């Protein structure tokens, strides 16, 4: 019986572990909450001359530019973008800009994207094309960026890092919700099993006590019904006894 009680206690202690085993809660990613800027607006803000007409398209390769307003290296990249990318590759590329120095949400997005790519964004510009990132900017990167744009444009399925990041987080949230539901369901089952076992134990103990009382009562009844032997009391013989002696002649 002691072993059974110990088992019940173990079950009771384990149940909360299953219920609380879910991972840390994540927030769903809504990319619409982040403020992006068209390349034409950015070039105007940063006073970079440009002469092109551009229309975004789902078939274009997305070049994500995380920048700071007034950043010198960002300005150099924008000159490369205006003079080369948006002229020679205007039908292949969409440059999407996120200002991070004065927009906290955009700064967090940059950090999250960097973490998603298993790196860190220690400064700007931070440029992402497909699944390739470029920390900072120098002219030596131009050839690599152009090659990456051509590679992504030729691919059947283009890699959009923001969409992939959002999908990974939202999929993880759905997984957590499913685990939470299963853990809650398991907790309910554990509790039900514990209650059922406890009930059975109580019933068994009650039956044993009842059987013991019944057996005791039955023994008493049997003992009462058994015929008792009659004890006859011997009466004292009060007749005068003749003394033994010699007879007188």
Nearest Cα neighbor of 165 from 62, 28, 58 is 28
pLDDT, tens digit, 9 for 90 and up, residues 57-95: 999 999 999 999 999 999 999 999 999 999 999 999 999
| Count of domains for the chain | 2
| Backbone torsions φ then ψ of 205, nearest 5 degrees | -60, -40
> Are residues 66 and 131 part of one domain?
yes
Q: 209: pLDDT confidence band, cut at 50, 70 and 90? A: confident
Containing structural domain, residue 60: 34-159
pTM: 0.66
Domain membership of residue 2 (yes or no) is: yes
| Backbone torsions φ then ψ of 124, nearest 5 degrees | -125, 155
Considering only CA atoms, give the Rg of the chain.
46
Q: Kindly report the CATH number assigned to the domain that includes residue 54.
A: 3.40.30.10
> Are residues 188 and 142 part of one domain?
no
> Are residues 89 and 6 part of one domain?
no
Domain membership of residue 169 (yes or no) is: no
Q: 19: pLDDT confidence band, cut at 50, 70 and 90? A: very low
Residue 218 has which token pair?
Answer: 């039955």
Residue 161 sits at the vertex; the CA angle it makes with 157 and 162, to the nearest 5 degrees, is: 120
């Amino acid at each position: 019986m002691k072993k059974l009680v110990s088992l019940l206690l173990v079950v009771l202690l384990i149940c909360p572990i299953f219920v609380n085993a879910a991972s840390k809660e994540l927030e769903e990613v809504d990319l619409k909450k982040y403020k992006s800027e068209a390349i034409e607006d950015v070039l105007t803000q940063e006073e970079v001359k440009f002469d092109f007409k551009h229309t975004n398209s789902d078939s274009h390769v997305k070049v994500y530019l995380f920048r700071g307003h007034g950043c010198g290296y960002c300005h150099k990249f924008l000159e490369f973008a205006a003079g080369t990318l948006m002229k020679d590759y205007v039908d292949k590329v969409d440059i999407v800009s996120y200002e991070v120095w004065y927009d906290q949400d955009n700064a967090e997005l940059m950090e999250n994207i960097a973490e998603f790519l298993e790196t860190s964004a220690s400064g700007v510009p931070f440029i992402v094309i497909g699944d390739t990132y470029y920390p900072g900017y120098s002219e030596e990167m131009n050839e690599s960026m152009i090659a990456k744009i051509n590679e992504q444009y030729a691919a059947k399925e283009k890699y959009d890092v923001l969409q992939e990041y959002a999908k990974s987080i939202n999929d993880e949230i759905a997984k957590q919700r499913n685990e939470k539901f299963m853990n809650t369901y398991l907790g309910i089952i554990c509790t039900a099993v514990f209650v059922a076992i406890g009930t059975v134990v109580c019933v068994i103990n009650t039956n044993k006590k009842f059987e013991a009382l019944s057996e005791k009562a039955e023994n008493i009844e049997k003992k009462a019904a058994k015929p008792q032997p009659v004890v006859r009391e011997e009466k004292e013989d009060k007749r005068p006894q003749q003394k033994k002696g010699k007879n007188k002649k």
